[in-house]
Amino acid sequence: MSSTTVLADVPLFPLHTVLFPDGLLPLKIFEARYLDMARDCLRENAPFGVCLLKSGAEVAREQEPSVPEAVGCLAEIAECDVEAFGMLLIRARGTRRFRLLSHRVEPSGLLVGMAEPLGDDMPLEGNEQLAKFGACAEVLERIIATIRERDSDSLPFAEPFRLEDPSWVSNRLAEVLPIALRARQKLMEMLDAGGRIDVVHHYMQQHQLL
């Protein structure tokens, strides 16, 4: 997909969470507009957009519209199950970041946007960034091993584990470290793997995780 492509009518799911490329997102869907959205996405094999809520509520109210952040991540439904009548359990996976050019509210209350896909991360540069990346990859490897030992079914990451990929490593650390939501959003928006590595490395140094 070219970075100059504009995606029209992308259904948006504003949430109190930040989805990164290759990140996993379990959702319990019960609102009619999102049930319809999920069915449409499954039928058409189409993505939806996940955005952090800038203001408003996940469950929209008449006088309080849900306002999404301008940068989000496209998600594809990887698994879908019916838990009870009128409720879907889905597991989505982040694919590519996008910038919202505009959005509108459908009569159903569903947000729909015009989105511009963003490019891939810039690669690492210099020995210092490479050294920090190596340290970050080691920490992530330990985190994965610890979770696997405790409960292999609860791993928050999808395989294959790309521990040699700075984007993958920095995205996964940004997901699991206890970072404030707005800071996590800023990390997701970065188009520079080295910059994200710098931030998570500094955070882990401060909190004695390295």
Convert the pLDDT of each residue in 8-37 to its tens digit. Answer: 999 999 999 999 999 999 999 998 999 999
Same domain, 43 and 132: no
pTM for the model: 0.91
Convert the pLDDT of each residue in 137-172 to its tens digit. Answer: 999 999 999 999 998 778 889 889 999 999 999 999
Q: What share of the chain is helix, strand, coil (3-state, %, to 5)?
A: 35, 35, 30
Reduce the secondary structure of 48-92 to three states and give it as a string.
Answer: EEEEEEEECCCCCECCECCEECCEEEEEEEEEEEEEECCEEEEEE
Task: Return the SS3 of 144.
Answer: helix
Task: Return the SS3 of 113.
Answer: strand
pLDDT at 86 over 80: no
Q: Which domain holds residue 98?
A: 7-117
Average pLDDT, whole number, for the chain? 91
Number of domains in the chain: 2
How far, in Å, CA of 64 to CA of 115, rounded? 23
Same domain, 106 and 184: no
